[in-house]
Amino acid sequence: MNLDLKANEIRQDIIKMLLEAGSGHSAGPLGMADVFTALYFGGVLNYDSKDPWKKDRDRVILSNGHICPVWYATLAHAGFFPYDLLLTLRKLGSGLQGHPHYRELPGVENTGGPLGQGLSQAIGQAMAAKMDGQDWRVYAMMSDGELDEGQTWEAIMFAGKNNLHNLTAIVDRNNIQIDGFTEDVMPLENLVDKWTAFNWSVIEINGHNMAEIIAAIEKAKTVFENPTVIIAHTIPGKGVDFMQWKPEWHGKPPKADEAKNALHQLRTLGGKIQSEHQ
């Protein structure tokens, strides 16, 4: 499977979903499409879409629940639920709500929404696995903006103290949040030094390089001294030029003409990816 092409397909679906819904977040889902693709299609995550709640599965916890369109699209592509359901995003009665709801869909492991809580949820799962002597792993998907939250740092301290080596946090370091750029709202750097000081192993990657993403996840599995955080540097709105690096696209969907433009750009890019690998 061409992972870059799969990520491009997922980005196209995100645009279609948001257009149909008429609401939702654009920048973050587009920016994290490569990471989610690598996680579910790169051979690093233990799951079975036909048996989504099998006991030894790895758990994925989405803390920054507002980027759920990328999770939903990835799960549909992986066969967790019918692909046609994607266009019910944010519809009344749909399992694809604007923030994920625990087990509302196969593969959805947590309720997400209030930022800063997902890492604590993941820690609970990781602690349970260790207490039960299980070897499945937990992946906490996080935003950089939620690192403004005090609870996040309490959780980081707790995980480091308890050497939760079966826990991997993946931070979407896209440098934007709803009010602007992170370093203007509440400066976060130096993130590497901060996480290291709390007894975490830190890996920095290009969040759009499939080989780097997969290698980092695999490396985290070899760390037994402490939990690992992967800081994935991403471009918000990746693949759509008028959305990239624009904080105003954090929390709004494209209009019809904007979606048409975005899909044209992504389809053109998909054609280039396909031709380069033929």
CA 225 to chain centre: 25
240-258 residue pLDDT tens: 999 999 999 999 999 999 9
φ/ψ of residue 201, rounded to 5: -80, 140
| CATH number for the domain that contains residue 194 | 3.40.50.970
pLDDT at residue 114 in the model: 82
pLDDT at residue 167 in the model: 98
pTM, to two decimals: 0.96
pLDDT at residue 179 in the model: 87
pLDDT at residue 99 in the model: 95
| Regions in the chain scoring below 50 on pLDDT | none
pLDDT at residue 257 in the model: 97
φ/ψ of residue 60, rounded to 5: -110, 120
Pairwise CA distance, residues 35 & 123, whole Å: 21
pLDDT at residue 116 in the model: 85
For residue 172, what are the domain limits?
Answer: 3-276
Element (DSSP H or E) covering residue 172: strand 167-173
pLDDT at residue 104 in the model: 93
116 within 8 A of 63, measured Cβ to Cβ: yes
pLDDT at residue 53 in the model: 97
Question: What is the number of domains present in the chain?
Answer: 1
